[in-house]
Amino acid sequence: MNTPLLLFIESNTTGTGRQFAQRARALGAEPVLLSADPGRYPYAAEDELRTVVVDTADGDALWAAVQRLAAGARVAGVLSSSEYYVATAAELAARLELPGPSADAVRACRDKSVQRRTLAEADVPVPWFSVAGEVAEAVAAAQWRGAPVVVKPVQGSGSLGVRLCRDPGEVADHAGELLAATVNERGLSTPARVLVEQYLTGPEFSVEVFGEHAVVTVAKHVGAPPVFVETGHDVPAVLPAPEAAALVDSAVHAVKALGLGWGAAHVELRLDGGVARVIEVNPRLAGGMIPELVRRARGVDLVGAQVRAGLGLPVDLTDTTGTVGAAAIRFLTAGTDAVLGDTDAAEATALAVPGVVAAALYRPPGTRVGPAEDFRGRLGHVIAVAAGPGEAARAADTARALGLATALEHAPMKEAMPV
């Protein structure tokens, strides 16, 4: 009998993309990656993943490629580990009468302006916000509400384009830059709209939801403004019971209000005076290695659950391993311009810290690096596990500091211009 196919429309460049394919194989399905440029994903060649080169932004070409695959084998599911292609995968699954979320709900969710309006109308707590299609509108919204404000694109991922603007001039500059962009970093067209929203200063969390069930609450670490680079996560978050309940209630309410409720959703929130305000709902698994932290700390395999759901198999989110503990990740980022030195030594130094189970540098020695503006500026990560969240966090913080101290060399001074 032919092996069923699980189609993946593009992939994450880091994180769980490889794990999706691995889980598919473990369940007896053959993963097939459809991509405009499979070379973006080194793991595809390393793992000998079957690939189909196709313009994934061209709906007709993509459907034709899927039909050719379906003519030779049974297609059992269609998924994507990339937020940019979740709606595309959902549309294809629906056309093939296979499991998946509502493509319309995913598409609406990915437009942050539509998402915000939907949540506000459903009485889900959100920051105040305004949608602007012109620089003057963005500046007027900031002046009406009062700076500082956060200005961000209505579509995006990984904190790309998210910036704290402290006065009308900064709002005008950043809104103008965002509105001038016609495509994103994947070359996909972007709406000419931005969000101007309330700057919340309370602690940030995420709630990982599967279906309509909250699996775990994660404490998030975010770098200093004006950018909002995620620098680490702790699983589980340690919170008083009322605040923990408020976060879960807001997250699940948001998922239901948006018409999701199939598979994974990553809900980001901030506590604002005891109110759990939803910053955004992402209709996908969390990035930032959060699924790996959940697996290590709670014994729940969210990647496996998503793959099982995509294949139409039963999903069990209970811990079957007896795992009771905590996990923490810290991302390595440069504070100043520098050059990566001995990355192998940096990884070894981090791994020598008790409790650290993984350490990775993403770039080769000699790479010039600088302060991170978004997730693409992260240089590597360390993961620690322990009996409690505090122990895991301390181990990860220590490993991060030691790894950075070993990996980074000061950038050479620029030569003086001749006079």
Residue 416 scores a pLDDT above 50: no
Distance in angstroms (rounded) separating the CA atoms of residues 391 and 327: 9
Q: What percent of the chain has pLDDT over 90?
A: 86
Q: What percent of the chain has pLDDT over 70?
A: 94
Cβ contact 260:106 at 8 Å: yes
At residue 222, the pLDDT reads: 94
Q: In the structure encoding, which two tokens stand for residue 98, read together?
A: 């296979």
Q: What is the pLDDT of residues 360-406, one digit of tens each?
A: 999 999 999 999 988 889 999 999 999 999 999 999 999 999 999 99
Q: In the structure encoding, which two tokens stand for residue 397, read together?
A: 């913080």
Cβ contact 124:278 at 8 Å: yes
Residues in the chain: 419
The three state secondary structure string of the chain is: CCCCEEEEECCCCCCCHHHHHHHHHHCCCEEEEEECCHHHCHHHHHCCCEEEECCCCCHHHHHHHHHHHHHHCCEEEEECCCHHHHHHHHHHHHHCCCCCCCHHHHHHHHCHHHHHHHHHHCCCCCCCEEEECCHHHHHHHHHHHCCCEEEEECCCCCCCCCEEECCHHHHHHHHHHHHHCCECCCCCECCCCEEEEECCCCCEEEEEEECCEEEEEEEEEECCCCECCEEEEEECCCCCHHHHHHHHHHHHHHHHHCCCCCCEEEEEEEEECCEEEEEEEECCCCCCCHHHHHHHHHCCCHHHHHHHHHCCCCCCCCCCCCCCCEEEEEEECCCCCEEECCHHHHHHHHHCCCCEEEEEECCCCCCEECCCCCHHHCCEEEEEEECCHHHHHHHHHHHHHHHHHHHEEECCCCCCCCC
At residue 260, the pLDDT reads: 96
Active site residue 284: yes
Distance in angstroms (rounded) separating the CA atoms of residues 365 and 337: 14
Q: What is the pLDDT of residues 5-43, one digit of tens each?
A: 999 999 987 668 899 999 999 999 999 999 999 999 999
Q: What is the mean pLDDT of residues 129-137?
A: 95
At residue 186, the pLDDT reads: 64
Query: Hey, what's the torsion of the CAs at 55, 61, 64, 68, to 10 degrees?
Result: -30
Cβ contact 353:402 at 8 Å: yes
Q: What is the pLDDT of residues 194-219, one digit of tens each?
A: 999 999 999 999 999 999 999 999 99
Q: What is the pTM of this model?
A: 0.93
Catalytic residue among 284, 295, 296, 330: 284
Cβ contact 140:123 at 8 Å: no
Q: Which residue has the higher pLDDT, 189 or 130?
A: 130
What band does 276 get if pLDDT is binned at 50, 70 and 90?
A: very high
At residue 418, the pLDDT reads: 37
- Write down the mean pLDDT value for the chain: 93
Q: In the structure encoding, which two tokens stand for residue 65, read together?
A: 């490629």
94-103, 150-159, 349-358: least confident range: 150-159
Strand 356-361 to 264-272 pairing: unpaired
At residue 413, the pLDDT reads: 41
Residue 187 scores a pLDDT above 80: no
Residue 3 scores a pLDDT above 90: yes
Distance in angstroms (rounded) separating the CA atoms of residues 332 and 408: 10
Residue 192 scores a pLDDT above 90: no
Residue 417 scores a pLDDT above 80: no
Distance in angstroms (rounded) separating the CA atoms of residues 264 and 104: 16
Q: What is the mean pLDDT of residues 47-71?
A: 97
What band does 155 get if pLDDT is binned at 50, 70 and 90?
A: confident
Q: What is the pLDDT of residues 72-108, one digit of tens each?
A: 999 999 999 999 999 999 999 999 999 999 999 999 9
Residue 158 scores a pLDDT above 80: no
Q: What is the pLDDT of residues 301-339, one digit of tens each?
A: 999 999 999 999 999 898 766 667 999 999 999 999 999
At residue 156, the pLDDT reads: 73
At residue 211, the pLDDT reads: 96
At residue 414, the pLDDT reads: 44
Phi, then psi, of 235 in degrees rounded to 5 = -125, 125
At residue 410, the pLDDT reads: 59
